[in-house]
Amino acid sequence: MKKVYVNEDWCLGCHLCEFTCAAANSGAPDMIKAFAGGKKPVARIQIEEGDKINFAVQCRHCEAHPCVKGCIAGALSVQNGVIVCDEEKCVGCYTCVLSCPYGAIVIDETGHKIRKCDLCTRNSHGEPACVKACPNNAIVFEER
Amino acid sequence: MAINYMNPLFEVVRNYDRCIKCRVCERQCANEVHHYDPDLDKMVADETSCVDCQRCVTLCPTRALKIRKNENEFRENGNWSQQVMDEVYKQAGSGGVLLSAMGNPREYPVYWDKILLNASQVTNPPIDPLREPMETKTFLGKKDQEIHYDENGKAEFKHNPYLELDVPIMFSAMSFGSISKNAHESLARAAQELGTYYNTGEGGLHKDFYKYGPNTICQVASGRFGVFKEYLDTGAAIEIKMGQGAKPGIGGHLPGMKINEEISRTRMIPKGTDAISPAPHHDIYSIEDLRQLVLSLKEATNWEKPVIVKIAAVHNVAAIASGIARSGADIIAIDGYRGGTGAAPTRIRDNVGIPIELALASVDQRLRDEGIRNNISIVVGGSIRSSADVVKAVALGADAVYIATAALLSMGCHLCRSCNTGKCNWGIATQRADLVKRLNPDIAYKRLVNLVHAWDHEIKEMMGGMGINSLESLRGNRLMLRGIGLNQKELDILGIMHAGE
Amino acid sequence: MLKKEGETRIPAGCAISGFINRSGRRTNGSVIVNSIACMHDRSNGLGGGYAGYGIYPEYKDQYAFHVFYDSNEARIKTEAFIDRHFDVINLSRIPTRKHPNITDEPLIWRYFVNPLPTKLEESQLDERTYVARCVIKINDKIDGAYVFSSGKNMGVFKAVGYPEDVGEFYRLDEYDGWAWTVHGRYPTNTPGWWGGAHPFSLLDYTIVHNGEISSYDANRRFIEMFGYKCNLLTDTEVITYIIDYLHRRLGMPLEDVAKVIAAPFWSEIDSGRFSPEETAKIRHFRNVYSSLLITGPFSIILGFNNGLMALNDRLKLRSMVAAEKGDTVYISSEECSIRTMSPDVDRIWSPRGGEPIIVTLDK
């Protein structure tokens, strides 16, 4: 199954993936509207920055999926290999945030819910928006 | 407090309705123009160090940025333009030679744009490139060897070393040092895939690129940076750099700040010191000395590789070319005054040298007048901007062209002409690791391949339109060209008629 | 003001035809004159010409110069030059017949000559080079004189007019030759001068040509490096010089000459169609003799002292048909003209583009 992989040699730490992800999942038709009026939509991908190296962190859709196993509300599930969160069911206990070994699950304070990458399967993009936005091939969507 | 006479050249215009404060512009500007002000909660710009490299404009996800010429205007003056005045202010402040990068940007005539091409009609059919073979393969090297037939009618002939190109376009010399390792890797991989060659420039060859040897031309310049036996043996050809179109009469210049560990090792010079190549080769003070070097290099590589001599286009280029053709060199490369550079004194870049169109026409004609045109192949550069320029160059007499600025543009360059600062935001003309990372060879080499393929396709379309199906029938075929808006002298030098004749 | 031939390049379309008797049996010129009449519409009356081989058996060891003169002064100057360099065995006007459609004729003379032995030795050249250089010198330097034929036991006859009329004008029914070629011209400008008609000849090489080559200037600017001067600016002239250079000066056999001027495409060369040795040779030709590749529609018949060669360009953009009957081989732009010469033939075919038909006299 195709997943998003990181080529950390090429990540510039520009954060374009973060902003594109946030806008893609905000429900707004374009990026300007997504951030207009001081709104702050949450990105499901985060850049870790260092002195000589940067890379993007998002859900790996791993086979162990401790987040799904630990979800007390049954909001997290695996669908066609993609780990998705039913946000209606999420109660904001943040167990998944603790159990994810990659720190890939993001807390959304405003909605008291978690947000995580679902490979853009549930928004209008179809294909991961972060990959398209990356200017330097630092994240790719492929089979390995 | 000293008065700052230097006007910012540009203004940063931000559309705040579109800006989402993602701070990409801030993160991606090596000149530190943009930053986020948390008190005002908006992005602000300090335009004094902006060079109009267009990095922020291109990366801004909402297209909120524009860079414009600074609207602050001095009083109009037909003789003392604002630019000329700024240059005086700069020199009064620094006491130094003005340095610039890339090719001559001044308003001189561009002869390529005053030459028109023919098409065949009625008396001679055009050839359909989609249905008939269209051949752009060419060979560079000496073609004056004799042929004998023995009593059985079998042909006997000598093989001269040559370069075989699938397209008549090669990548011109850009040194490792003036451009980054990633840029070199992109050029090498593209040359390999295209079946053509790239040039090391005067910075030597990085060990990681020896594997691209069969597509590499190894340059020997006046500083002899990085020149040793293995280097010469690795390439497909050797180029002796006698001059460069951007700065005829002077040598290369790499500022010390751009010389890190890798450059130092590849060039075989100490870290941190300016690498200034001398003006002449100190063992070539006359044409016979050049012949000696050509033959020494051939001897050192067992006579297996063609030797190229690269010269800048200057006033007596035809006579120089004639001498080079008799020196044993296989190929001559002529670089016009519009050629690019990583760093050159501004006055030399803008005032020295002649246009490549005129140089090519007169060299080709002179060699034919002397009956020695097939002793040597001609490659031209400085500046070839499109496939139409390539077709016109071949029709004037060139065997192939060198492109460099066009190659850099493919890799992201926006001709901001600040290469000499070492802060190239596109990762091309810099050695800073964080900036070099921005040029991903996987992406850049594909763009180079795309460019050359596109040009090759266009060349075939134009050739087909002229009724030509092999590049060799276009070479020197001046009747396929007509001038427009040229005076008789210019037409005579180019050896073409005026449109309508 | 319309420019004369040689001052400007005149594209043209045409008709050609020719035949050769391999046994050396001589055929009357009227046969070739009839063959071009049926292709009347391919010409427009602005040029026609013939080449005949074996027509001067009594003078077969002399070079036969055919010369046009615009004026008597030009004739006097030229004859003085010829006397200084050659031994003249015979000279006369070329006999012609008045024809209503052939007008404005220049003076047309004929000389049977041999190089003066002392002059030849002084020049340190071989005989053919000596003769070629003298002819080129006359054409280049003496105003108003033009040597349009200079081979042994052969001759070119040409004029401005329809070729069948030209044939009558020159009384070709009074000549017999073992090979004949003919050309009818359709230029798109009015040439002022008879010398521009085809065939073009140098020594015993004659070329009749149908087509317009796109590579003309590339070819001309290369071949002029070797002492040739393309004064007429015609395709036929440059093709003749190229063949003279490759065949006579480099000693290349005609099969290889065809491989230089109508070289196989790279797709063919790379496909392994030729043997490794042949492939290396063809690659060498395409590298070293690249400026002699002739592009553009052409259909040529080359005559030389021992035979004929017919060749089409690689894309076969002009017509050419060939036929055989007994010991005679016919070549023409159209089948109808072959049938006029020989209504039934043993076989008839259309040669492939780039593949030469070379027919030589049986020894």
pLDDT over 60 at C192, yes or no: no
Burial environment of residue B85 by CB neighbours within 10 A (0 to 12, 13 to 18, 19 or more): middle
What three-state secondary structure class fits B128? coil
The two structure tokens encoding residue C6: 């040689």
CATH 3.30.530 describes domain A1-58+117-144: no
Contacts of B155 in chain C (CB under 8 A): 252, 256, 281
Q: Could you tell me which chain A residue has the CA closest to the CA of B27?
A: A14
Domain ranges, ordered by start, for chain B:
10-96, 138-467
Q: How far apart are CA B75 and CA B87, in angstroms?
A: 16
**Domains plus CATH for chain C?**
12-213+302-360 (3.60.20.10)
Please tell me the distance in Å from B392's CA to the nearest CA on chain C.
Answer: 13
Is there a contact between A137 and B27 if contact means CB atoms under 8 Å apart? no
Residue C1: which pLDDT band, with cuts at 50, 70 and 90?
very low
Q: Which residue of B has its CA nearest to A53?
A: B434
* C to B contact (≥3 Cβ pairs closer than 8 Å): yes
B477 touches chain C (CB under 8 A): yes
Does B313 have pLDDT greater than 80?
yes
Calculate how close chain C gets to B368, using CA atoms only, in Å: 6
Residue C236: pLDDT above 50?
A: yes
Q: Are the beta carbons of C215 and B468 separated by less than 8 Å? A: yes
**CA nearest A51 in B: which residue?**
B434
CB-based contact, C89 to chain B, within 8 Å? no
Per the prediction, chain B carries an average pLDDT of 94
Candidates C266, C287, C360: best to mutate against B (most CBs of B within 10 A) is C287
CB spacing of B61 vs A52 below 8 angstroms: no
Q: Taking CB atoms and an 8 Å limit, are C216 and B162 in contact across chains?
A: no
User: If you compute the radius of gyration of chain C from its CA atoms, what whole number of angstroms results?
Assistant: 20
pLDDT tens per residue across span B3-32: 888 889 999 999 999 999 999 999 999 999
Catalytic residue chosen out of the listed positions C14, C38, C134, C230: C14
Does B375 reach chain C within 8 Å, measured CB to CB? no
Contact check, Cβ <8 Å, A34/B20: yes
- Tokens encoding B253: 């210049």
Query: Which tens digit of pLDDT belongs to each residue from B340-357?
Result: 999 899 999 999 999 999
* For chain C, percent of residues with pLDDT exceeding 70: 94
Higher pLDDT, B257 or C255: C255
Angle among Cα B234, B239, B241 to the nearest 5 degrees reads 135
pLDDT at site C158: 93
C-alpha–C-alpha distance, residues C341 and C321, integer Å = 13
Mutate to test the interface with B, among A11, A55, A136 (most CBs of B within 10 A): A136
User: Distance, in angstroms, between A103 CA and closest chain B CA?
Assistant: 22
Stated pTM of the model: 0.92
CB-based contacts of B75, cutoff 8 Å, min separation 6? none
Fold classification of B138-467 is: TIM Barrel (3.20.20)
Reported as a single tens digit per residue, the pLDDT across B76-109 is 999 999 999 999 999 999 999 999 999 999 999 9
pLDDT digits (tens, 9 = 90+) for B125-179: 889 888 899 999 999 999 999 999 998 889 999 999 999 999 999 999 999 999 9
Using a pLDDT cut of 90, give the percent of chain B over it: 87
User: Which segments of chain A belong to CATH 3.30.70.20?
Assistant: 59-116
Residue C253 near chain B (CB below 8 Å): yes
Residue A136 to residue B24, Cβ atoms within 8 A: no
Q: Virtual CA dihedral for B197, B203, B209, B212, nearest 10 degrees?
A: 20
Residue in B18, B24, B442 nearest the CB of A32 = B18
Asked if the C-beta of C294 comes within 8 angstroms of chain B's C-beta atoms, the answer is yes
Closest CB to B20: pick one of A12, A13, A32.
Answer: A32
Residues sharing a CB contact under 8 Å with residue B77, sequence separation 6 or more, in sequence order: none
Give the closest of C12, C256, C296 to B467, CB-based: C296
Contact C215 B477 (CB under 8 A): yes
- C241 to chain B, closest Cα gap in Å: 16
Report the pLDDT value the prediction gives residue A112, as an integer from 0 to 100. Answer: 85
pLDDT of res. C267: 93
Is residue C358 scored above 50 in pLDDT? yes
Percentage of residues of chain C with pLDDT beyond 90: 73
Quote the pLDDT of residue C315: 87
Of residues B307 and B279, the one with the higher pLDDT is B307
Residues of chain B in contact with residue A133, where contact means CB-CB under 8 angstroms, are 61
Q: Are C170 and C45 within 8 A, CB to CB?
A: no
Q: What is the mean pLDDT of residues A24-41?
A: 90
Residues C84-118 as b/e (b if ≥16 CB within 10 A, e otherwise) read ebbeeeeeeebebeebeebeeebbbbbbbbbbbee
Per the CB < 8 A criterion, the answer to whether B102 and B340 are in contact is yes
pLDDT bracket for residue C189 (50, 70, 90): low
Residues B75, B415: Cα–Cα separation, whole Å? 28
Could you tell me if C163 and C49 are in contact, meaning their C-beta atoms sit under 8 angstroms apart? yes
Q: Which CATH class is domain A59-116?
A: alpha beta
In this complex, which of B124, B132, B145 lies closest to C214 when CB atoms are compared?
B124
Q: Which residue of A8, A10, A139 to mutate against B (max B Cβ within 10 Å)?
A: A10
Element (H, E) at B11: strand B10-14
Residue B59 to residue A13, Cβ atoms within 8 A:
no
Tokens 């109808």 locate to C336
Identify the closest residue of chain C to B165 by CA–CA distance: C287
> Is A19–B438 a contact, with Cβ atoms under 8 angstroms apart?
no
Q: How far is CA C165 from the centre of its chain?
A: 19
pLDDT digits (tens, 9 = 90+) for B259-276: 888 999 999 999 888 888
Backbone phi, then psi, for B237, in 5-degree steps? -155, 165
Instruction: Please state the rounded mean pLDDT for residues C160-172.
Output: 92
Subunits with 3+ C-beta pairs closer than 8 A to C: B
Place C12 in a pLDDT band, splitting at 50, 70 and 90: low
Nearest-CA distance A136 → chain B (Å): 6
The tens digit of pLDDT for each residue in B387-411 reads 999 999 999 999 999 999 999 999 9
Does B61 contact A35 at a Cβ distance shorter than 8 Å?
A: no
Does the pLDDT at position C2 exceed 70? no
A79-109: burial string, b at 16+ Cβ within 10 Å, e else:
eeebbbbeeeebeeeebbbebbeeebbbebe
Q: For position C196, what pLDDT does the model report? A: 80
C232 to each of B190, C2, C4, C142, C212, how far by Cα in Å? 47, 15, 9, 15, 14
Res B1 pLDDT > 70: no
Give the pLDDT mean for B454-472: 95
pLDDT at A143 over 50: yes
The residue-averaged pLDDT of C114-127 equals 93
A95-113 pLDDT per residue, tens? 999 999 999 999 998 878 9
Q: Rounded CA gap, B126 and C358, in Å?
A: 29
- pLDDT for C15: 87
- The widest CA-to-CA distance across chain C, in whole angstroms, is 61
Mean pLDDT in chain C? 90
Count helices and strands in chain C by DSSP H and E runs: 11, 18
Q: How far is CA B361 from CA B91, B245, C71, in A?
A: 38, 16, 40
User: pLDDT at residue B497 above 60?
Assistant: yes
- CA–CA separation, C331 and B309 (whole Å): 50
| Catalytic annotation present for C38 | no
Cβ within 8 Å, pair B149-C252: yes
CATH number, domain B10-96? 3.30.70.20
Cross-chain residue pair B433–A10, CB shorter than 8 Å: no
Q: Decide if C3 touches B, using CB distance below 8 A.
A: no
Query: Closest residue of B to C252, CA-based?
Result: B149
The pLDDT of residue B469 is above 70: yes
Is the CB of B132 less than 8 angstroms away from the CB of C212?
no
What is the distance in angstroms between the Cα of B64 and the nearest Cα belonging to chain A? 10
DSSP lists the bridge partners of residue C226 as none
Average pLDDT over residues C278-284: 95
Separation CA B381–CA B367 (nearest Å): 19
Task: Sort out which chain A residues have CB atoms less than 8 A from B443's CB and list them.
Answer: 136-137
Q: What is the pLDDT of residues C28-72, one digit of tens each?
A: 999 999 888 888 777 777 788 999 999 999 999 999 999 999 999
Segment holding C131, helix H or strand E: helix C127-141
Closest residue in chain B to residue A136, using alpha carbons only: B440
Peptide bond into B270 cis (omega under 30): no
pLDDT, mean of residues C153-169: 92
Residues in chain A within 8 Å Cβ distance of B20 = 19, 31-32, 34-35
